[in-house]
Amino acid sequence: MQELMRLKGNKILSNTWKQELIITDQSVASEQRRGLLGMLGISKTRKSIVYSRIASVAVYDRAITADLEIVNLGGRDNIIS
């Protein structure tokens, strides 16, 4: 699996401490880390959707920020970056 692009959320405006969208030649994956530096409560979540399972992609623009939503065919475990 070859990584083609990595998109990172703004650390100040993002709803998580660190959020990345990884686009590969086979799938799209979301990686999120929640928690504060120096605390033990840092958790990491990774969701992946292969291209054949993507039903729709939507961009929601706001005044300062935007959300990217990738919906899979099953309707569960969608990626919202």
CATH number, position 63: 2.30.29
Place of tokens 């959320």: 9
- Residue ranges making up the domain that contains 41: 3-80
Chain length of the chain: 81
Query: What DSSP string runs through 6-47?
Result: EEE--TTTSSSSEEEEEEESSEEEEEEEES-TTSS--EEEEE
Q: For residue range 30-49, list pLDDT tens digits in order.
A: 877 766 654 555 677 788 88
Confidence (pTM):
0.68
User: In this model, does residue 56 exceed pLDDT 70?
Assistant: yes
Neighbouring residues of 23: CB distance < 8 A, sequence distance ≥ 6: 3, 4, 5, 6, 7
Q: How many domains does the chain have?
A: 1
